[in-house]
Amino acid sequence: MSSQPSGAGASPAAAASTGPAAAGASLAANIAAEVTAFAGEVGSSGAVTVVGARTHRDVGGVPLAGTREVCAPAGVWEHEPSEMTVRCGAGTTVAELAAHLARTGQMVPLDPVDDAATVGGVLACGFSGHRRLRYGHVRDLVLQTRHVDAAGKVVTAGGPTVKNVSGYDLARLLVGSLGTLGLLAEVILRTLPVPPAAQWLEGDGDPFAAFDLLYRPSSILWNGSHVWILLEGDPADVAAEASKLETAGFAPCDGPPPIPAAGRESMRPSDLRALAGTAGGWLAEVGIGLVHRPEPVQAAPVSPANALLMDQLKQRLDPDNRLNPGRRPW
């Protein structure tokens, strides 16, 4: 993409830093101009695929050869720490967003395996990070989306405030849709304070018993024999919870091994137990039911009734199948 300014200096964020109301108006105009330019690039005909950092390029299939590539706008555009919201282009990398928010002690726990991933890419895949146990699904971090639809028009869904139930929740529908219903241009996300303390522990104990022992742990990863647990929060609480785990045979550590990224196998949290003792280089999220595997995993089928609804949604929203052809979330 050519119109994309690189870095905060050239983006509307430069206007944000000047502060006053006039800058606010020009910021809004700049953001609108970026989104409009993106809509122009998407256009209203011809197969088109949105490209982020290419870290999740094969999820749900690979875009058909010859599909025109576009990039969503990038840049952290507005961040109001006291509102706990941040507005950014969907093409912003998770690393850039994290660095921006860290200056005021905040975060959006997207936690992709590779933080070169873009915000839009993470949301399009609908992949929550390894701290979902504490912070919830990524779709619950999304407050507002602005996407370009198959007609090349901009559609806004959700709202800019931390709480909102105005209209149909298209923002949630877009999360995990692999860009097949619309191409994300801009999002407003909920931010959270960075917890004052964080500690990983590891051990060979029972991860399910550990889950029951702890109050809102951030992550429990398990490879069938060994367990890594992340505690976050107030330092005194982290220490107290850690000591409970140490009594159960766990010891502080630097963190888990790299999380395999080739395949995600989804099951009920309780079904993970059946994996005990099995080998294969997998790492599972206890309490969530997600197994990260080093090899691709066949997507689970959807029921005929749901497949019909999904097919019809796709047909109505993208009748010419021009948005990310070749990829399919079901």
Partner 1 sequence: MPSRSAALVGYGRGVTSEDAAADAALLADLRGVLGDRARDNDFERGLYSRDGSIEGSPPAIVCLPDSAAEVAEIVRVCRRHSRPFLARGSGTGLAGGAVPVGRPVVVATSKMDRIVEIDTANRIAWVEPGVLNLDLSRALAPQGFHFAPDPSSQQVCSIGGNIANNSGGPHCLAYGVTTAHIAALEVVLPSGDTTVLGGVEAEPAGLDLRGLFVGSEGTMGIATKAAVRLTSNAPAVRTLLLDFDDVSEGSAAVSAIIAAGLVPSALEMMDQRAIEIVEAFAHAGYPTGAAAVLLVELDGLPGGVEAGVEIVREVAQKHHVGHVRVAADDAERALLWKGRKNAFGAVARIKPDYYLHDTVVPRSKLTEVLEKVYRIADAYGLIAVNVFHAGDGNLHPILAFDRREPGVDERVKAAGRDIVAASIEAGGVLSGEHGIGLEKRDYMGMLFSTHDMYTQDVVRETFDPDGLANPLKIIPTGSRCSDSFHQHVPEGAWV
- CB 140, min distance to partner 1, A: 5
Complex with partner 1: residue 5 or 81, whichever CB lies closer: 81
Among 101, 107, 111, 100, residue whose Cα is nearest residue 137:
111
Complex with partner 1: residue 253 or 309, whichever CB lies closer: 309
Complex with partner 1: residue 196 or 252, whichever CB lies closer: 196
- CB 269, min distance to partner 1, A: 5
| Whether the Cβ atoms of residue 321 and residue 46 lie closer than 8 Å to each other | no
Complex with partner 1: residue 20 or 66, whichever CB lies closer: 20
Complex with partner 1: residue 277 or 301, whichever CB lies closer: 301
- CB 213, min distance to partner 1, A: 12
Q: How far apart are CA 1 and CA 39, in angstroms?
A: 12
Residues 6+ apart with CB under 8 A from 292: 259, 260, 261, 263, 264, 282, 283, 284, 285
- CB 29, min distance to partner 1, A: 16
Q: How far apart are CA 149 and CA 137, in angstroms?
A: 24
Helices (H), 93-188: 94-102, 119-125, 132-135, 170-174
- CB 9, min distance to partner 1, A: 26
Burial class (CB in 10 A: 0-12, 13-18, 19+), 305: exposed
| Whether the Cβ atoms of residue 158 and residue 142 lie closer than 8 Å to each other | yes
- CB 146, min distance to partner 1, A: 10
| Whether the Cβ atoms of residue 166 and residue 144 lie closer than 8 Å to each other | no
- CB 304, min distance to partner 1, A: 9
Complex with partner 1: residue 71 or 122, whichever CB lies closer: 122
- CB 256, min distance to partner 1, A: 17
Q: What's the half-sphere exposure (Cβ side, CA atoms, 13 Å) at 316?
A: 6
> For residue 7, what is the enclosing H or E element?
helix 7-10
Among 161, 117, 136, residue whose Cα is nearest residue 287:
136
Complex with partner 1: residue 140 or 295, whichever CB lies closer: 140
Complex with partner 1: residue 5 or 26, whichever CB lies closer: 26
Residues 6+ apart with CB under 8 A from 316: none
Helices (H) and strands (E) in the chain, counts: 10, 16
